[in-house]
Chain A
Amino acid sequence: MLRLMSKIHIPTPLRQYVDKQSTVDVKADTVAEAMSALVAKHPDLRRHLYTEDGKLRAFVNLYVNDEDIRYLQKEATAVKEGDSISIVPSIAGGACRCCPSCW
């Protein structure tokens, strides 16, 4: 199949790992292909999105246009030319939790 261009929206907290871009264009037929193209281009992003065994982290949701892929065909969801994929991590606030004094 001919791979088509889709746009991945990067949330602001993750832009530091993609050279500060707000969107990244990738060629892909499915969400899985699009995401692997994205982390291949920007390897620092991988640990923020995937667990060590390669599963999408539970607090990271992916959308194709405005639909949650969990209610489509998950990562096998097809993407068409012009579709946009959004990465939507959960955010809680500005509190820092990196060390005991922050808890």
Chain B
Amino acid sequence: MATIITEIPVTLSKDEILRYSRHLIMPEVGMEGQQKLKAARVLCIGTGGLGSPLALYLAAAGVGTLGLVDFDVVDYTNLQRQIIHTTADVGRKKIDSATDKLSAINPYLNLRTFDMRLSSENALELFRDFDIIADGTDNFPTRYLVNDACVLTGKPNVYGSIFRFEGQASVFATEDGPCYRCLYPEPPPPGLVPSCAEGGVLGILPGLVGVMQATEVIKLILGVGEPLIGRLLLIDALGMKFRELKLRKNPDCPVCGTHPTVTKLIDYNEFCGIRGEEKTVANGVPEIQVEELKRRLDAKENIFVLDVREPHEYQICNIGGHLIPLNDLPKRVNELDSSREIVVHCKMGGRSAKAVAFLQQSGFTKVHNLAGGITAWSERVDPKVPKY
């Protein structure tokens, strides 16, 4: 594997030589390799679950220029896995929090921070100043955006992805290798998978996968070993099994194929079907606000509260509703009395909107969706109800 770093105008100081001693005494890295690392410019998309270990290790390893793109703010739910951020950072910009940690680890690091959401308008210009792009995002539109921008600018896309106990890693968009669209031409439609009921991620998993991404970045810079080009590594953290599948460059790929139809960046939210289907479901059903539900329950009105979340969510918090998970609703609909007024809720209002639409189709007429779900209840009615 040839290195992608062809010019090495940098030298190492005496302090840097000491710092990178354990690299320098390995022939596979050595002085030349360490200089390549210092000359390299790597852009990390996201400083979250994957981006945390990725950026920490790249900084420690001596990658000279590290770019970070993130628009987000640290919150409490991040801390279970986003190890670059600490409890004291909650409320701070992730970019600022990450900058502090990375500079503390390696003061020789040239950090370039981009406090923005990666978009079709800024991606190409941003990518041009870097040698390698490491994709640590958490959603489909950005995945396709990163991939297409990598293909269009000719930058390798070091890919890692996680969900629950499942991980995937590969290197896309090298000159002769496949891209993400060769693997998955289309994203899943929103609303199918995942939902709040099926979401979540085991905290250690982004650590495992992010470190694999860091490993691949470093191999690409050094030009050693066999990068994951044309291979998809599957990680099953439950069985702790690793499997490898072959990836082929698809000659009909719309972005990297022989006759590409995607020649510039597109609207990736639209491509991923976001803003369509889901909103019409949520908009089409009658809603009730949390304050009104509270007032009417306090007035002892005859209202039946139906909770369509999963049993493990009910254990976290509940407002005393009758629990029927959304997927079980069709077979348990006979537990409900259609003559009573029913208010349906979930965590945020998405699943309960679907439940209301289903109940309406089943002949229920007095059924409302609790806008904002139990989260809105916690924020606006009863702060003792924990948020999750």
Please tell me if B49 contacts chain A, counting CB pairs below 8 Å: yes
In chain B, residues 224-255, which have Cβ atoms closer than 8 Å to a Cβ of chain A?
232, 234, 236-239, 241, 243-248, 250
- Give residues 12-56 of A contacting B (CB, 8 Å): 12-13, 15-16, 22, 47-48
**Nearest neighbor of B205 in chain A, beta-carbon distance:** A94
- Least CB distance from A20 to B in Å reads 9
On whether the beta carbons of B195 and A58 are closer than 8 Å, the reply is no
Whether the pair A95, B166 counts as a contact (CB closer than 8 A) is: no
Closest chain A residue, CB of each to CB of B198: A13
A93 touches B348 (CB 8 A): no
Q: Tell me the smallest distance from the CB of B17 to a CB of chain A, in Å.
A: 39
Known: A13-B198, A94-B138. A100 touches B143 (CB 8 A): no
Cβ of B278 within 8 Å of any chain A Cβ, yes or no, is yes
Is the CB–CB distance between B188 and A57 below 8 Å?
Answer: yes
CB of A68 to closest CB in B, whole Å: 7
Binds A, one of B98-106, B157-165, B287-295: B157-165
Interchain CA distance A15-B236 in the complex, whole Å: 12
B184 and A13 contacting across the interface, CB-CB below 8 Å: no
Chain B: interface residue count, which band?
35 or more
Name the contact of A71 in the complex, choosing from B199, B200, B248, B373 (C-beta under 8 A): B248
Are A12 and B194 touching (Cβ within 8 A)?
Answer: no
CB atoms of A22 and B238 under 8 A apart:
yes
Residues of B within 8 A of A86 (CB): 234, 243, 245
Given contacts A59-B186, A93-B161, A94-B49, contact A102 B350 (CB under 8 A): yes
**B348 and A101 contact, CB distance less than 8 A:** yes
Interface 0/1 of A71-83, CB less than 8 Å to B: 1000000000000
Give the A-binding residues of B (Cβ under 8 A): 49-50, 137-140, 143, 161-166, 168, 183-188, 190-201, 232, 234, 236-239, 241, 243-248, 250, 274-275, 278-279, 282, 348-351, 353, 372-373, 375
